[in-house]
Amino acid sequence: MIGLSSYAAVMESLTSCAEEQQPSSFMTNSWSKNQESSGSQRPKCVGGFVLVHAGAGYHSESKAKEYKHVCKRACQRAVDQLRAGALAVEAVTAALVELEDSPFTNAGMGSNLNLSGEIECDASIMDGKSLHFGAVGAIGGIKNPVLVANCLLNEAQKGKLSAGRIPPCFLVGRGAHDWAVSHGIPPCPSEKMATSECCFRNKRKMELAEGMDAGLKQTKKRRQSSENENGSGCLDTVGAVVVDLEGNVAAAVSSGGLAMKHPGRVGQAAHYGCGCWAENACNMNPYSTAVSTSGCGEHLIRTVLARECSAAMQSEDAHQALLEAMQNKFISDSKLLNPYSADSEILILCTFGSVFNLFICLFSVEFLWSHTTESMCVGYMSAQDSKAKTHISRLPPGTVPGQSLAIEGGVCRLKGVVD
């Protein structure tokens, strides 16, 4: 395990997204949260902000353009919703639908195949205002599982069912599929969701599994190197975090799960506090936070990483807080023991405001991303921007994935009004 002092060579870049829509630039710096909450007066930002990621893993140079393009489209979909006055939950759902529809991501269309050659997806969404949560696990035959998770969240907010029954917030398997169809979400045959890309990935994984009886480590190393070179390496859970025009936050994730997983396996993308977390500021928490995770589901479930990072972000120094949370709550956590490496990616959104007068304020959004995987592709955009910005973050040369950490991020300042 590595200590905090070993992070000297790790990237700690920051980007800024100013209200003048000037191009972002990376810099080695940090910032502080000097702004104080305006008490009972709640600032409303104009439009909002979205941050998305295309999944944990390795993002090959040969497909960098495609990864960035899908992140741009997801940002644009969310911002279109925000500009139309939609709240954070609807905007983050729109972003996830775009990510699920891409053949280059491991979510929805083109997801990894399980051992039976079928697609089973996980997804969840959380509303920071109401703290309601909706999730589906191991659901098949649904093109956009995040729509089912969002529908579960919305139905739960309507109150009890007949005979005083509590509405479900988490459904799995065939029950989740049937519930989705009964609530107007169209089914999609699994064979139509299996793209040529995911079938190729599955074939390579099957070949790897069959050839690992002898020379385990060398076989795996050679195959992973080959996958990286030809761009066929697997990605994991996609996700997004959003703050809307009222300052509400929301987070969502969607995943096709691990390649060759056992049928019925449910990853962190569907688990409460593991895949995503969103919580508006309140008396106990001075800052609103939204979190989305990606990586090995079993690791993220054991560490409840999304909720842990959200709690850690109630700190004056968000950058340092995330560094320590990733180190202490994930990489060095006693629940994650060798021979497994701690592979994850995480998005953080933190909001805070400062009232300048009775009507106008500056609403600041602090956003961070961190990963222990080889790379991470992100996109971000405010409703004041003309187009989304994208970036593929990579671990520094010579570092070990799973034992090294990269952290980057920035600040976006949004003009707002006070009711």
d(CA 126, CA 135) in angstroms, rounded, equals: 9
Q: Tell me the H-state helices in 231-345.
A: 297-303, 305-312, 318-326
Q: Is the dihedral of CA 222, 224, 225, 226 positive or negative?
A: positive
With vertex at residue 345, the alpha carbon angle to CA 344 and CA 349, rounded to the nearest 5 degrees, is: 140
Which residue, 351, 353, 366, is CA-closest to 407?
366
364: number of Cβ within 10 Å: 22
Q: What is the dihedral of CA 26, 345, 202, 146, to 10 degrees?
A: -100
User: Under a CB-based contact definition with an 8 Å cutoff, are residues 41 and 222 in contact?
Assistant: no
What is the Rg, in whole angstroms, of the alpha carbon atoms belonging to the chain?
Answer: 20
Q: Which residues have C-beta within 8 Å of that of residue 282, sequence separation ≥ 6?
A: none
Longest distance between any two alpha carbons in the chain, whole Å: 72
Beta strands 406-418 and 170-172, pairing class: unpaired
Give burial (CB, 10 Å; 0-12/13-18/19+) of 69.
middle
What is the three-class DSSP state of 165?
coil
Query: What is the token pair recorded at 205?
Result: 């994984």
Query: What is the token pair recorded at 95?
Result: 């972003």
C-alpha 97: how far from its chain's center? 13
d(CA 43, CA 238) in angstroms, rounded, equals: 30
What is the three-class DSSP state of 208?
helix
Catalytic residue set: 237
